[in-house]
A and B are shown apart, each in its own frame.
Chain A
Amino acid sequence: MEQPVIKNVLNISMEIPQTKIAKFWEELKRGKLFATKCAECGEIYFPPKADCSKCYSSKMDWIELAGNAELITWTIIHVCPKSFSQHSPYVIAVAKLEEGCSVMAWLTNIKHEDIKPGIKLKLIPKEFGYEFIPSKPNTKSA
């Protein structure tokens, strides 16, 4: 049975400030990945934070990441949000960087059957962010 309804559309467009971590985006354009490191307590943040959540210092140094990482966990997204419909399926991975922090990013350039916990990955910059790829392409070793 057809129910009577009011049709209502709401399109939201927003601008999210990135001023405090502008350097991250500048370096990304140059093909480099930078993290912040607290000048007071030494905590490393990636994605970068402008303020230290541990010691509340806002004195941050910028350090370049080597990008070496080890896979912790992953999923393959088949049913995706509206805004990602052209990309599906895609692999989302969480891997631990040698600098100590763990990162979520897409894992690309790998066959699904080759994905195993502990495999070595490389975090590489992309135009609008970053992604993981196998550290040795097509590797099957864990």
Chain B
Amino acid sequence: MGQNGKVAVVGIGHTKFGKRNDVTVRELAFEAVKEAFEDSGLSPSDIGFTIVANYGGFSEDMSAAPYILEYAGLNPKGAMRVEAACASGSAALHAAYWNVRSGLTDLALVIGVEKMFQVDTPTAVELLGRAGDVLWEFIPFGTTFPGYYALIATDHMNKYGTTEEQLAMVAVKNHKYGAMNPLAQMQKEITLEDALKSRIIAWPLKLYDCCLISDGAAAVILASEDKAKKITDTPIWIIGLGSATDTGYLADRTDISTLQAAVLASKQAYKMAGIEPKNVDVAEVHDCFTIAEIVAYEDLGFCKKGEGGKMIEEGQTYIGGKIPVNVDGGLKSKGHPIGATGVAMAAEITKQLRGEAGRRQVPKAEVGLIHNVGAAGQFCYVTILGRES
């Protein structure tokens, strides 16, 4: 190990997403952690530092990390909980990367967990809406999360002619792959008509344009270069990272149809990895709403600005297309347990690059990208993983 060494994912765990009213937060997190230890052959005493991603508020623990650590036998090693709204999972992954890369520890554990079904839906909508500007958006105007992305969608439609059908096509694709993923919350294909006829949540977004309320947990173990090579024959290297932020108050943005934080974060990550968007074989993007996936295609450079709608219409983000996106079902169909999402994306890309994705496997996937957005673009983390270093 050394300060200039590389960092790899050497263990992954991913619970089924869905409604889990049979477990507490710590019990759910334990399932993912146990799987990550089984996957890596490591045990709790090997871990030098743990980072927990949890948005909280929906569930019992205000400060969840200590109870997860105790339950998973991880004391007395150092730990923290990080929060970056819906990007908490990637924030934790990045923090764990710094921890290993700096040489402070050889092995770091990232745990993402959320239990959202313990409150009723209106309360969940309220708690999520409160990730927006509480003072000037939420309290006075009741701006919901679908509402923020609906504002983005309307602007995108007005500027580029993106259609409600194109939004629905994203839902159709992600449900197709979700139906193939045993860990997905909604393992059900839908038709374009189902999506277009679903009830309006925040016009122009309908029910099938919106991701799900979910319970779920995921865990990944990061290792220094030397350790990684000893632990596994298939280390998946973290070859690029980027992160950026944008205004909390949505109206302050010069262009509402783009997430500037994603543009900046991906540029950093591509530069660090020494690759271009065309070199990405498979991507996990933050499709909290269908419009978010279309905007992500553009922000990540998979297509030109304004051509995201065309990209899904041409089927270029299916397996066999230009760049397969969210072939695990995405947030849309696999589910979106807030704190778990970014960690689950890392687990999925690791599976893809190891060639363990089964029916959803992207052939010859060597480079995978993770795009995880917090709130309505207030945070964006992009992480690039590679099979070869």
Asked if A and B bind, the verdict is: yes
Closest B residue to A48 by CB, please name it.
B136
Contact of B154 among A3, A75, A81 (CB under 8 A): A75
User: A104, B202: Cβ atoms under 8 Å?
Assistant: no
Contact of B203 among A72, A75, A83, A117 (CB under 8 A): A75
B164 CB → nearest A CB, Å: 13
A47 CA / B247 CA spacing, docked (Å): 13
Which residues of the partner chain B approach A128 to less than 8 Å between Cβ atoms?
A: 140
A47 CA / B251 CA spacing, docked (Å): 10
Contact of B146 among A79, A82, A102, A103 (CB under 8 A): A79
- Does residue A50 face the partner (Cβ distance < 8 Å to B)? no
Which residues of the partner chain B approach A79 to less than 8 Å between Cβ atoms?
A: 125, 144, 146, 201-202
**CB-CB under 8 A for A94 and B125, given A47-B136, A106-B141:** no
- Does residue B274 face the partner (Cβ distance < 8 Å to A)? no
Total contacting residues, chain A, CB less than 8 A: 32
**CB-CB under 8 A for A78 and B203, given A73-B151, A92-B141, A94-B250:** yes
**CB-CB under 8 A for A104 and B143, given A79-B125, A79-B202:** yes
The 5 closest A-B pairs by CB, nearest first: A75-B150, A84-B142, A82-B122, A102-B251, A76-B203
**CB-CB under 8 A for A73 and B141, given A3-B21, A78-B202, A78-B203:** no
> How does the 8 Å CB contact mask read for A9-43 relative to B, with 1 for contact and 0 for none?
00000001000000000000000000000000000
Which residues of the partner chain A approach B158 to less than 8 Å between Cβ atoms?
A: 73, 117
Interface residues of B in 202-225 (CB under 8 A from A): 202-205
Which residues of the partner chain A approach B204 to less than 8 Å between Cβ atoms?
A: 75
Chain B residues within CB distance 8 Å of chain A: 21-22, 60, 122-123, 125-126, 129, 135-138, 140-144, 146-147, 150-155, 158, 199-205, 249-252, 256
Q: List 17 A-B contacts (CB under 8 A).
A: A72-B155, A73-B154, A75-B151, A75-B154, A76-B200, A77-B142, A77-B144, A78-B199, A78-B200, A79-B201, A79-B202, A81-B122, A81-B125, A90-B142, A94-B250, A106-B141, A117-B158
Contact of A80 among B22, B142, B153 (CB under 8 A): B142
Closest B residue to A4 by CB, please name it.
B22
User: A94, B147: Cβ atoms under 8 Å?
Assistant: no
- Does residue A111 face the partner (Cβ distance < 8 Å to B)? no
User: B256, A94: Cβ atoms under 8 Å?
Assistant: yes
User: B142, A75: Cβ atoms under 8 Å?
Assistant: no
A84 CA / B126 CA spacing, docked (Å): 9
Contact of B21 among A5, A84, A87 (CB under 8 A): A5
Contact of A81 among B22, B60, B126 (CB under 8 A): B126
Which residues of the partner chain A approach B137 to less than 8 Å between Cβ atoms?
A: 104
B61 CB → nearest A CB, Å: 11
A117 CA / B138 CA spacing, docked (Å): 23
A119 CB → nearest B CB, Å: 12
**CB-CB under 8 A for A104 and B141, given A75-B147, A75-B151, A76-B203:** yes
- Does residue A85 face the partner (Cβ distance < 8 Å to B)? yes
User: A80, B125: Cβ atoms under 8 Å?
Assistant: yes
Which residues of the partner chain A approach B123 to less than 8 Å between Cβ atoms?
A: 82
Which residues of the partner chain B approach A8 to less than 8 Å between Cβ atoms?
A: 60
User: B251, A103: Cβ atoms under 8 Å?
Assistant: yes
Contact of B201 among A78, A85, A104, A129 (CB under 8 A): A78
A83, A85, A105 — most chain B CB neighbours (10 Å): A83
User: B126, A83: Cβ atoms under 8 Å?
Assistant: yes
Which residues of the partner chain B approach A83 to less than 8 Å between Cβ atoms?
A: 126, 142
A31 CA / B60 CA spacing, docked (Å): 44
User: B144, A81: Cβ atoms under 8 Å?
Assistant: yes
B22 CB → nearest A CB, Å: 6
Which residues of the partner chain B approach A75 to less than 8 Å between Cβ atoms?
A: 146-147, 150-151, 153-154, 202-205
